[in-house]
Copies of this chain bind each other. A is one copy, B any other.
Amino acid sequence: LEILLAEHSGFCFGVKRAIQMAKDASHQNQPIYTIGPLIHNPQMVNDLKEQGILLAEHPEALHDATVIVRSHGISKAEREMLVKNSNRIIDATCPYVCKAQDFVKLLCLEGYAVIIMGDKTHPEVTAMLSYCDENTSVVSNADELPEQTWNKLGVISQTTKNMAALRDLVQKLVPNVKELRLFNTICSATTLRQEATTALAKKSDLMVIIGGHNSSNTRMLAALCAGITETLHVETAVEIGLEQVSAKHSIGLTAGASTPDYLIVDVYNRINELTGDRTSVKSVEDIPVNKEESC
């Protein structure tokens, strides 16, 4: 049995930055609060809790507190409320998400109707929407596009969406627009991770996707792999049973942008243990990586 990890797995730049900013702030010996989970990974959120980084149950009740804005960003109204209540804000919004927010503001200001490709309820999208006017709509993919024509249409994407889906959406719009202004806000980490994952899936009997079931980008990895080979999406190692990994010759691992390295290590060791291999690693750097050129 060969177990390989896809390149570009795990924490992205924005997530690493948000966690570092939270940890730096927690040195101040007073709790700091996050509006929504800091990252979309329940295990990591529990770890942070032990370091005094707490999920605010009622953000509107926070006064004079230290509050961290997570990498997805927050809505205009939430930000205004936090400021009004004299909280100190540490803004860990991913710089790529900030850019997407700026672009959506620009499009609205310049009179474009806007289509956001994303998940209606994802915090990144709801934050974006808070800066838009009523001429903005959210669609998951090309199939959800309304049958209409536009004089001036802006298009933008949630940063962790799939490039092929954006291409499909844009080409479908072309005959129905006089002007289309696309800001391609899919972040490069997302694209690289998806490409490396796809390449590994093509040569694996089984792909194990590690990450929060509430993580949009992790679910996207699972969906991509499911179209190629047998696929298992787990949050932690214990979810994997012998029946799933026995009789496999090649297992591929990948992890979403909000999956900490130790969960990847746990999964790798668990599969080896289940299949009777004594190999056990301490660090993600010790797991063999699939170095094949991505597609």
Contacts and interface: CB of A to CB of B under 8 A. Distances in A.
Interface stretch (A27-35, A69-77, A175-183): A175-183
Contact of A184 (B163, B167, B172, B179): B179
Number of identical protomers: 2
A178 B174 contact: no
Nearest to A181: B181
Interface in A154-207: 163, 166-168, 170-172, 174-175, 177-184, 191
A287 B117 CA distance: 48
B191 A184 contact: no
Contacts of A191: 175
Contacts of A167: 171-172, 174-175
A174 B183 contact: no
Nearest to A157: B174
Contacts of A177: 182, 184
Contacts of A163: 174-175
Interface string A10-51: 000000000000000000000000000000000000000000
A181 B184 contact: no
Contacts of A178: 183-184
A267 to B, nearest CB: 30
A163 B172 CA distance: 11
Given A167-B174, A175-B184, A182-B182, 13 more contacts: A166-B174, A167-B171, A170-B174, A171-B171, A174-B182, A174-B184, A177-B184, A178-B184, A179-B184, A180-B180, A180-B181, A180-B184, A181-B182
28 contacts: A163-B175, A166-B174, A167-B171, A167-B174, A167-B175, A168-B171, A170-B171, A170-B174, A170-B180, A171-B171, A174-B182, A174-B184, A175-B191, A177-B182, A177-B184, A178-B183, A178-B184, A179-B181, A179-B182, A179-B183, A179-B184, A180-B180, A180-B181, A180-B182, A180-B184, A181-B181, A181-B182, A182-B182
